Chain A
């Protein structure tokens, strides 16, 4: 489904991603781990088309087509969803209205009719239950004054409602207590399907106890330095990232 080849990306001339190769097939869950500052969020945002980052080399193919010339909304319309590490607040814009605008924008792009308000509400209520999101939050402004946990649940709610093909979760676990983590994982697992792929970015192995990955990749200094099965995550949990940093420094010298 997703094919990343020799991807380089820079911000203001400073190279952050330095040659990433990754391929993710439908039905798979890939975990991306790595120390802070290694480029995990950058990778997630480059996939989603954020123009802050300039792709200087390489290619990203989604279902066989290049994404590089596509705007963020076109990528979203193709079925790419990013759950943000820091969900953005939009004062004055009702959460429900935002979500409905998004649903209808995606439907329009697919040539479908707008969802009528009643069906939309039914859909949202059902998904809100799944992630245990207080319905009161639907009437509030997007993420405005939400707690950290509420913001993360709201991201998963959006993901559940928008039903993307490729879900990218950027540190969705950070800042969550164990109950919230379970709830979020339940929401994510409910979306696992043979047609859908997931990239789960995390700093800790904790989330992977609940969302079992098919593959684990370790990112360091803008490169994938190791890949393996789910055991790799456990190994990292024990040994920490120290060995990688040593290695990366060694590789650089």
Chain B
């Protein structure tokens, strides 16, 4: 690539983070530090029943016996868990609003700045939104309409109070509190998150959506999301995230559990744009997340993620294909630029017979970004006729970045067919010149080429998220022609 191309590309790759503002709202903060009292205080703050506190405490005591893992391909200084604030809530939300009219106008203004006007979303887009600011869910729109269909879409805190039978049955059923260091920490201190239940045979008529926003300084965000699709149900769920620019790193350790009962379908899409830190690698979010779904007979779980933010991303949205003929899918775009590091991929665990999984991963690295695909395809002895197809493509922009691929395959049934394809390419100087020769400026050319590279993933996103993803990558998508 010529020098001027490289310059343009680097400019594009180092675009300013647009969501870095800090909002001055009245916050209720715990002091930093973590012990049993912190866990009790969080639980008390949320008015939780005894069983919930017990579960948190079991998790906390287990966490004390665990060590922070360091196997991902990521470098970062040790995290001091006593310096983190484990609970931050906008004061006005301590009495949780029942409708948008009761939401603090300052909060609504924050979401407007993020390009998520809650009211407009409610009225125009037909997207039901749950917004989580720091530790607390501040607004869930469209609730009435959903409840007519028996669909529950509310904050996790509320679900614990209002639907304890469902929460007790499914919380930890996919990601047990003993699962891993960060998931266990989350189990002890999770603050809020979203809960969805779609009853038997119901097709959720709109996209459900949660926006996560870290606002307070030194605060960890530990949200917990649980989605249960009962037999034959369908739901599509979207998650978006941003955070202010701060010099220190902030920990985000979320857990997402999906339960797709017989013949149910859950589509889970993420556009992750946490603050990535600056060019020197100062600040940014550590995004250490556990996401897993269990698919029962003929159920389908589909993960789609566009990961452009965070200093370090470490996540493997996974599918346990328990039931016969269940289907798992993973579509991922991960872009790392500046000093960002991503170690991401999926696990497809084939347990049932005739189970199928598809993995499409697109990694883009620019400047000094490091991008690792790490994936496991496991076929259990009883998983007759399991099928997997994996494709992992990496694109390098410039020559200071890196791409790495670690596919693990573990097959214990001879009838399985597992296919893996991987490519690594540099963004083509010839492609850029070809576009330029047709009058298309370099930045647009790069966007177009990258967007073409990611096409198989973008087309899995719901329309409004595809638009957002394209904006995030500085890309114009081909949706207006054809």
Interface residues of A, Cβ cutoff 8 Å to B: 48-52, 71-73, 75-77, 81-82, 84, 87-94, 96-98, 100-102, 105-106, 109, 117, 120, 138-139, 141, 158, 162
Instruction: Tell me what chain A mostly uses at the interface: helix, strand, loop, or mixed.
Output: helix
Q: What is the bound-complex CA distance between A71 and B428, given in angstroms?
A: 17
Any A CB within 8 A of the CB of B431 = yes
- Given A93-B448, A120-B481, A76:B439 Cβ within 8 A: yes
Query: B425 — nearest CB in chain A belongs to which residue?
Result: A91
Task: Identify the 10 closest CB pairs spanning chains A and B, nearest first.
Answer: A92-B452, A51-B2, A93-B452, A97-B478, A92-B455, A102-B438, A72-B436, A76-B439, A88-B434, A105-B439
List B contacts of A51 (CB < 8 A): 2-5
Whether the Cβ atoms of A72 and B481 lie closer than 8 Å is: no
- Given A90-B449, A91-B452, A105:B437 Cβ within 8 A: no
Whether the Cβ atoms of B476 and A71 lie closer than 8 Å is: no
Q: What is the bound-complex CA distance between A117 and B436, given in angstroms?
A: 22
Residue in A50, A89, A158 whose CB lies within 8 Å of B438: A158
Whether the Cβ atoms of B437 and A82 lie closer than 8 Å is: yes
Whether the Cβ atoms of B480 and A101 lie closer than 8 Å is: no
Any A CB within 8 A of the CB of B261 = no
Q: Tally chain B residues at the interface, Cβ within 8 Å.
A: 32
Residue in B440, B453, B455 whose CB lies within 8 Å of A101: B440
Residue in A50, A87, A88, A92 whose CB lies within 8 Å of B451: A92
Whether the Cβ atoms of B440 and A73 lie closer than 8 Å is: yes
List B contacts of A48 (CB < 8 A): 433, 437
Whether the Cβ atoms of A105 and B438 lie closer than 8 Å is: yes
Q: In chain B between 262 and 291, which residues have their CB closer than 8 angstroms to a CB of chain A? A: none
Interface residues of B, Cβ cutoff 8 Å to A: 2-5, 428-431, 433-442, 444, 448-449, 451-456, 476, 478, 480-482
Whether the Cβ atoms of A93 and B451 lie closer than 8 Å is: yes
Residue in B428, B449, B482 whose CB lies within 8 Å of A97: B482
CB distance from A249 to the nearest CB of B (A): 32
Whether the Cβ atoms of A105 and B440 lie closer than 8 Å is: yes
Whether the Cβ atoms of A141 and B476 lie closer than 8 Å is: no
Q: What is the bound-complex CA distance between A81 and B428, given in angstroms?
A: 20
Q: What is the bound-complex CA distance between A223 and B245, given in angstroms?
A: 58
List A contacts of B434 (CB < 8 A): 84, 87-88, 90
Whether the Cβ atoms of A73 and B436 lie closer than 8 Å is: yes
Whether the Cβ atoms of A88 and B430 lie closer than 8 Å is: yes
Residue in A77, A92, A139 whose CB lies within 8 Å of B482: A139
Whether the Cβ atoms of B438 and A98 lie closer than 8 Å is: yes
Query: A110 — nearest CB in chain B belongs to which residue?
Result: B439
A50, A51, A73: residue with the most chain B Cβ atoms closer than 10 Å: A73
CB distance from A150 to the nearest CB of B (A): 16
Residue in A52, A105, A120 whose CB lies within 8 Å of B441: A105
Residue in A73, A90, A93, A117 whose CB lies within 8 Å of B480: A117
Whether the Cβ atoms of B482 and A90 lie closer than 8 Å is: no
List B contacts of A141 (CB < 8 A): 452
Instruction: Tell me what chain B mostly uses at the interface: helix, strand, loop, or mixed.
Output: helix
Whether the Cβ atoms of A96 and B482 lie closer than 8 Å is: yes
Whether the Cβ atoms of B442 and A73 lie closer than 8 Å is: yes
Whether the Cβ atoms of B482 and A98 lie closer than 8 Å is: no
Q: What is the bound-complex CA distance between A72 and B444, given in angstroms?
A: 14
CB distance from B429 to the nearest CB of A (A): 8
Whether the Cβ atoms of B2 and A52 lie closer than 8 Å is: yes
List B contacts of A162 (CB < 8 A): 438-439
CB distance from B452 to the nearest CB of A (A): 3
Whether the Cβ atoms of A92 and B442 lie closer than 8 Å is: no
23 contacts between A and B (CB under 8 A): A50-B433, A51-B4, A52-B2, A73-B439, A73-B441, A76-B439, A88-B434, A89-B431, A90-B434, A90-B435, A92-B451, A92-B455, A93-B455, A94-B482, A96-B482, A97-B480, A97-B481, A97-B482, A100-B481, A105-B439, A105-B440, A158-B438, A162-B439
List B contacts of A105 (CB < 8 A): 438-441, 444
List A contacts of B455 (CB < 8 A): 91-93
List B contacts of A97 (CB < 8 A): 478, 480-482
Q: What is the bound-complex CA distance between A106 and B437, given in angstroms?
A: 11
- Given A96-B481, A96-B482, A101:B437 Cβ within 8 A: no
CB distance from A201 to the nearest CB of B (A): 15
Query: A168 — nearest CB in chain B belongs to which residue?
Result: B437
Query: B453 — nearest CB in chain A belongs to which residue?
Result: A92
Query: B393 — nearest CB in chain A belongs to which residue?
Result: A91
Whether the Cβ atoms of B449 and A93 lie closer than 8 Å is: yes
List A contacts of B438 (CB < 8 A): 76, 98, 101-102, 105, 158, 162
List B contacts of A89 (CB < 8 A): 431
Query: B456 — nearest CB in chain A belongs to which residue?
Result: A92
Query: B449 — nearest CB in chain A belongs to which residue?
Result: A90
Query: A87 — nearest CB in chain B belongs to which residue?
Result: B434
Query: B450 — nearest CB in chain A belongs to which residue?
Result: A92
List A contacts of B444 (CB < 8 A): 101, 105
Q: What is the bound-complex CA distance between A49 and B4, given in angstroms?
A: 12
Query: A158 — nearest CB in chain B belongs to which residue?
Result: B438
CB distance from B454 to the nearest CB of A (A): 7
List B contacts of A73 (CB < 8 A): 436-437, 439-442
Q: What is the bound-complex CA distance between A105 and B438, given in angstroms?
A: 8
- Given A72-B436, A73-B439, A101-B444, A90:B5 Cβ within 8 A: no
List A contacts of B478 (CB < 8 A): 93-94, 97
Query: A50 — nearest CB in chain B belongs to which residue?
Result: B433
Whether the Cβ atoms of A72 and B437 lie closer than 8 Å is: yes
Whether the Cβ atoms of B481 and A94 lie closer than 8 Å is: yes
Whether the Cβ atoms of B481 and A117 lie closer than 8 Å is: yes
